[in-house]
Amino acid sequence: MVRSVCAPSLRSRSLLTRVRLPGRHASRSAKSGPPREPPPPVPEASAPWWPWFIPLAALIVVLVVIARAPAQRTPSFPYSDFVAKVNAGQVKAVVVNDKGAVDGTLQNGAKFTTRIPVALDTSPLDAQLRARHVEITATQTSGTGGWTPWLVFVLPLLIIGALFWWSGRKAARPLAGTQGTMGRSRAKIIEAERPHTGFDDIAGYEGVKQEISEIVDFLRRPGRYAAAGAKGPRGVIMVGPPGTGKTLFARAVAGEAEVPFLSVTGSAFVEMFVGVGASRVRDLFGEARKRAPSIVFIDEIDAVGSRRGGTGSGSADEREQTLNQLLAEMDGFDQSSGIVVLAATNRPDTLDPALLRPGRFDRHVTVPLPNQSERAAILAVHARGKTMHRDVDWDVVARATPGFSGADLANLVNEAAINAVRDDRAVIGASDLDSARDRVLLGRRESSNALLPEERHAVAVHESGHALVAALCAHADPVAKVTILPSGPSLDTTEQLPEADRHLYTHGYLTDLLCVRLGGRAAELVVLGEGSTGAADDLAGATRIAARMVTEFGLSAVLGPVGYGSGATGYLAEQERNESRRGYSERTQRIVDMETARLVTDAERRAVTMLRSHRAALDSLTGLLVAHETVDGPVVLDALHKEGPDHRAGPSQAAVP
């Protein structure tokens, strides 16, 4: 059975945006901006001609063949029959050519053909024809046989040649595009119609807004800075965890700035053809110079600005050429041109050092995760346009969502609205937000996942142990809810709500956190006499925390104040940590393993001692969970109070190792 504890997150805070009121749009659009260049006329594309070529050629061939085909087949007589018919007076007229071919007509009008043998003496034939008064006509054939045979022979060759020519042009079209349309940047240019988001619509983060709003002010009024001898920044890069609103800040800049705003993603520069990315960078900054003063925004710049290496492959050459061109453009354009580069990434550790130096990106702005008060304000912003019940307290919801980014909070409110619609309601209540938070953190409720009676009792014992140990530890976060209803991969859940966002974690807090993690296994050992597979996730999480206490936080008396951090500074470091890359010897690894095991074992032993001292409260809470499936935090405290002061160890006493 997997158990999830809603412990405070170690991540940073986030940026959240708010919706602009309609009145601001009209006032902003009424401001006059710099003169705009008329867009170049788009030439009308002519209709392609090649689809009509093949049908037309086939039609010509068919017409020629039909024209040459005789209307009906003319009978051919042997020469002897022809002479016999002449002597019989049946022939009316003949047409003789110089090749000996004869086309004749009988007295009854029938047509016939024959051929006079040139090897015989045919002089008597002339006398016979004259004697029978046959009309004789002589013709001479041409040497070429007419143009039609040549047309029938040449036309198919012309069609085949045209097909080869068209196929060659189609195959060469991508290469031609490399020098044409493929080399053009794919930046979205915003000049007249701007986004509706502004700096006033972003909740909190006054320092971040000040850093970026100075760029807009510098482009609007450069004289103020020139009078004091100050130079405007050439570039500002925003870094932070995913979903914190870095792109939303760029949208706010586009909404506030009265200068052209060119937006492009880092992946738009990457192509398989070497030189295309560099060409697009040149074209992007060329467009920015034409519209100066202007702002260039590159989202996910790590796609093109990663560290350069010596691999020598084609893809690496293309990426490095693109990065080199970007470095040259940022360091090469005139300072007085009024071009500022704004970039965003959540992987600053992968960027090339030459890109981050002053003169290119002069300012590095961190966009962290929101704190508790900012989460409450952001939740209220996302609730606009929705009907909320009066029992909804945004401060309570903000306490229950530590480590949530702006995107996570928006998804939370949307899931709550979906949950209300699922129950045929239009009003969103506090229970909908709780269900949405459980769905986001744990997954969908599995009502069909029925447990056996003994499994149900074991799950209740497990969760009761987590809840009681959390209530008894002085540094642990308060228990908010305990449930044995399956959700996603988890069969049970104990949720804790921190009193406030933590940024530093003491040794006492981490020790209590280990004890709470192992409280479920300790309850199984106390009540059932043996452990189960339900504590697998608890053991894995406790082992990770203990290992970091030893290797990173210097909280081991044996190893001493030595830290072996992963060295990763990116916001995706938790996903990219490779345990096989350690900076210490095998002997140190054995010490780390022994200390990690000692911390986990001491935490389990301490949790077992607590639960044995409060066995009555453990049994009482287990019975309540079996009967009601879900109990709140005050029920856990009531189970401890019912024991009486003589049988319950106080939190301060239980917190002492």
CATH of the domain at 518: 1.20.58.760
The answer to whether residue 386 sits within a structural domain is: yes
Same domain flag for 602 and 501 = yes
CB atoms within 10 A of CB 445: 15
Same domain flag for 100 and 212 = no
Q: Name the residue among 481, 504, 468 with its Cα closest to residue 400.
A: 481
Same domain flag for 254 and 392 = no
pLDDT value of position 225: 78
Residues 6+ apart with CB under 8 A from 606: 515, 657
Domain count, the chain: 4
* Two tokens, residue 536: 């697998």
Whichever domain contains 259, its CATH number is 3.40.50.300
The answer to whether residue 508 sits within a structural domain is: yes
The answer to whether residue 177 sits within a structural domain is: no
> Final residue of a domain: which of 420, 441, 462?
441
The answer to whether residue 172 sits within a structural domain is: no
Same domain flag for 280 and 409 = no
Specify the amino acid at residue 52. W
pLDDT value of position 171: 56
Residue 139 near residue 96, CB atoms below 8 Å: yes
Prior bond of 645 cis (ω within 30°): no
Place of tokens 């066995």: 615
Rounded-to-integer distance, Cα 87 and Cα 110, Å: 17
> Final residue of a domain: which of 398, 420, 441?
441
Residue 258 near residue 304, CB atoms below 8 Å: no
The answer to whether residue 171 sits within a structural domain is: no
Q: Vertex 523, ends 521 and 526: CA angle to 5°?
A: 115
The partner residues of 227 in beta bridges, in order of sequence, read none
Active-site hit among 256, 463, 495, 604: 463
The answer to whether residue 147 sits within a structural domain is: no
Whichever domain contains 130, its CATH number is 3.30.720.210
Mean pLDDT, the chain, as a whole number? 75
pLDDT digits (tens, 9 = 90+) for 616-641: 999 899 888 888 888 888 888 888 88
Question: DSSP for 596-617?
Answer: HHHHHHHHHHHHHHHHHHTHHH
pLDDT value of position 567: 55
Same domain flag for 328 and 414 = no
Same domain flag for 342 and 392 = no
Q: Name the residue among 228, 184, 232, 185 with its Cα closest to residue 211.
A: 232
The partner residues of 265 in beta bridges, in order of sequence, read 299
pLDDT digits (tens, 9 = 90+) for 161-201: 777 777 766 655 554 444 444 445 555 665 545 667 777 77
Q: Please provide the size of the chain in residues.
A: 657
Residues 6+ apart with CB under 8 A from 81: 114
pLDDT value of position 27: 38
Residue 563 near residue 552, CB atoms below 8 Å: yes
Q: Name the residue among 260, 209, 192, 217 with its Cα closest to residue 31.
A: 192
Three-state DSSP class for 131?
helix
pLDDT value of position 13: 35
% of the chain exceeding 70 in pLDDT: 71
Same domain flag for 275 and 329 = yes
* Two tokens, residue 404: 């949530």
Specify the amino acid at residue 621. L
Rounded-to-integer distance, Cα 462 and Cα 622, Å: 9
The answer to whether residue 599 sits within a structural domain is: yes
Rounded-to-integer distance, Cα 209 and Cα 458, Å: 53
> Final residue of a domain: which of 331, 366, 401?
366
Q: Name the residue among 244, 207, 199, 203 with its Cα closest to residue 346.
A: 244
Q: Name the residue among 126, 125, 86, 124 with its Cα closest to residue 106.
A: 86
Q: Name the residue among 125, 43, 113, 37 with its Cα closest to residue 77.
A: 113
Instruction: Indicate left, alpha or beta for 243 from its phi (over 0: left) and psi (-120 to 50: alpha).
Output: left
Whichever domain contains 407, its CATH number is 1.10.8.60
Same domain flag for 505 and 585 = yes
Residue 139 near residue 97, CB atoms below 8 Å: yes
pLDDT digits (tens, 9 = 90+) for 290-332: 877 788 888 888 888 778 765 544 456 677 777 888 888 777 5
Counting as low any pLDDT under 50, the low residues of the chain are 1-40, 42-46, 71, 175-183, 192, 312-314, 573-580, 646-657
Give the H or E element holding residue 576: helix 573-576
Rounded-to-integer distance, Cα 548 and Cα 550, Å: 5
Same domain flag for 94 and 196 = no
Same domain flag for 380 and 317 = no
The partner residues of 113 in beta bridges, in order of sequence, read 76, 103
The answer to whether residue 327 sits within a structural domain is: yes
Q: Is 463 a catalytic residue?
A: yes
Same domain flag for 479 and 622 = yes
Same domain flag for 326 and 399 = no
Q: Name the residue among 420, 242, 417, 207 with its Cα closest to residue 345.
A: 242
Q: Which domain holds residue 405?
A: 372-441
